[in-house]
Amino acid sequence: MDMSGPSPEGQLLGVIVVAFLFFTPAILAFMRGHRRFWVILALNLVGPWIQSIVLQLLGWLPLQPATLSQALYTLSLLLGPVWLGLLAWALVPQSDPDPKLKAWRETKLFDFFAALPLIIWFAYNVVVMRPRLAVLGNSMLAGEADLLSWLLFFSLLFSALFCLVSVYLLVIRDKPVLRVQGALPRIAAVTGTFLGVGMLQLQVAALGLPLQAAAFLLTGIGSAASAAVLWRLGKSFSIMPEARTLVTQGPYNYIRHPLYAAEIITVFGMILQYQQPWALLMGGGVIVFQVIRSLYEERVLTRAFPEYVAYRARTKRFIPGVI
């Protein structure tokens, strides 16, 4: 692993994951239409501070062990007894869910807030890539860039374009007409999307010119194809398996999941760039979860759009005429 510390992308992903875990009781209460949602949300917000004050008064606040990092210690305080109690309360079966919460889930505003962590994530990635793009661009304009610099520039440029298109479509996309049920499809979708971030924490592999060029070329082609497919997908874009509108034209006329196929090309480029065997294991995991999420996505699309059955019968999943 790279001992210089987590990458900016890794840090942001960590913050998003911790925030999601922290607000899990409130999220579950909302999704289940809990009649005491607002109480659970309020306690979710102030719970850690109340818990810390009580523990300090009782003299039970634990000192940070020398073997425990500050991040893990803070996490243990955030996800303490109050959090566990709220989680159990949120999971109490609701025989009569709150109709107002259920109705609000179907609004465009709710869909925007659900996408907000992704919007922040993609926008931040553009901010992180911008300085390096500027340095490479100036080098190219000055005639000082070599082949690898050119390939890296276009690889980063198309990655930034993909992120910008993602932000735009997450803001304007249609409301879903049907959502997948259960935790496993959501876990597969999130893992398939973000597992590749783990490769950014690995040491960069020492590659010869041909392999390094191939790595940059694959990531560039994959990112460019992803941006193009994403633009064609338009307002149907979603990370979770959801049905918004059925898209069967453009690249979707040839395969059912061209976006995942393009992302897998990018993953192959990343596998080449980073330390083995960890990059291969992580990249393989990304590909496996992309396949799993495609299965869940097809299930929800089949339920939402009866014509999807005929479309699925005439198209392959990832490679035209092959698989």
Is 265 in contact with 321 (CB distance < 8 Å)? no
Residue 245: burial class (beta carbons within 10 Å; 0-12, 13-18, 19+): middle
**179 strand-pairing partners:** 242
Q: pLDDT per residue over 89-123, tens digit each?
A: 999 988 888 999 888 888 888 889 889 988 988 99
- Helix axis angle, 81-90 relative to 24-31, nearest 10°? 10
Round the average pLDDT of the chain to a whole number and report it: 87
pLDDT for 105: 84
Q: Is 149 helix (H, G, I), strand (E, B) or coil?
A: helix
pLDDT score of 135: 94
* pLDDT < 50 positions in the chain: 1-3
State the Cα–Cα distance between residues 281 and 227, nearest whole angstrom: 25
Read off the pLDDT of residues 250-286 as tens digits, 9 standing for 90 and up.
Answer: 999 999 999 999 999 999 999 999 888 999 999 999 9
Residue 263 CA to residue 141 CA, distance in Å, equals: 30
Residue that the structure tokens 């309360």 belong to: 89
Amino acid at 207: L
Q: How far is CA 282 from the centre of its chain?
A: 15
Q: pLDDT digit string (tens) for 24-39?
A: 999 989 988 899 999 9
Label residue 88 exposed, middle or buried (CB < 10 Å: 0-12, 13-18, 19+). exposed
Per-residue confidence (pLDDT) for residue 218, from 0 to 100: 94
| Degrees to nearest 5, angle at CA 183 with 10 and 265 | 50
Q: What is the DSSP letter of 255?
A: B
